[in-house]
Structure 1
């Protein structure tokens, strides 16, 4: 029981750090803006599932999904270095991908999310 409580507390602390990092990144331009004909929930769940693939991302595999304040969803990694804001546009979705740096891991995350569009 104690380990569960400590684990939940650690996740809450990390989420707070990730949230401030993501809010700061949103003040700038996204790494890439994409569009999909699919509904926001379908796109968000696909990206979340793809980002959790340990065979692609190894120990950095992680994808968390939560509703965004503006409607739609945000999918993010531990620490918030990579995240996607998915908003409804007509019958489809607008996908804004944010990456801390232009690196190979950022490109792999982009490739994984592109398969969900």
Structure 2
């Protein structure tokens, strides 16, 4: 019964995050970046960097999933910040989205930049 409750809660959160991400993708990204590194390596690095409790405290959750069309997406709880990563001609292309322009969003962008 507990497993069923956890699975239901996780699917509900994923649905909410998905609609927030879809809405954000209709607008221009907060920041667009590129990297020479492979997409999977950058995605794993961003996920790890965003999970640093010393930097983000108790809100240090970061999740990695396949991208909407291709590549990968790394996102935080409620998709307050997320990054779409795709393989481009010159390397990995990153589109960073933040729901708010605040200190935490800037800190997540800085952590992301360390993975380039």
Cα RMSD for the two superposed structures: 1.0
List structure 1 runs of 4+ shifted beyond 6 angstroms. Answer: none
Measure how far apart 1:3 and its partner are: 2.4
Deviations 1:20-41 (A, max 9, x none): 0000000001110000001110
Number of residue pairs matched by the alignment? 116
Gaps of 5+ in 1: none
**Alignment match, 1:72:** 71
Name the CA distance, whole Å, in 1 between partners of 2:58 and 2:10: 16
The alignment partner of 2:61 has SS state of coil
Gaps of 5+ in 2: none
Superposition TM-score, scaled by structure 2 size? 0.96
Name the CA distance, whole Å, in 2 between partners of 1:53 and 1:3: 28
Superposition TM-score, scaled by structure 1 size? 0.95
**Alignment match, 2:21:** 22
**Alignment match, 1:107:** 106
Q: Which moved more, 1:29-38 or 1:2-11?
A: 2-11
Q: Which moved more, 1:27-36 or 1:65-74?
A: 65-74
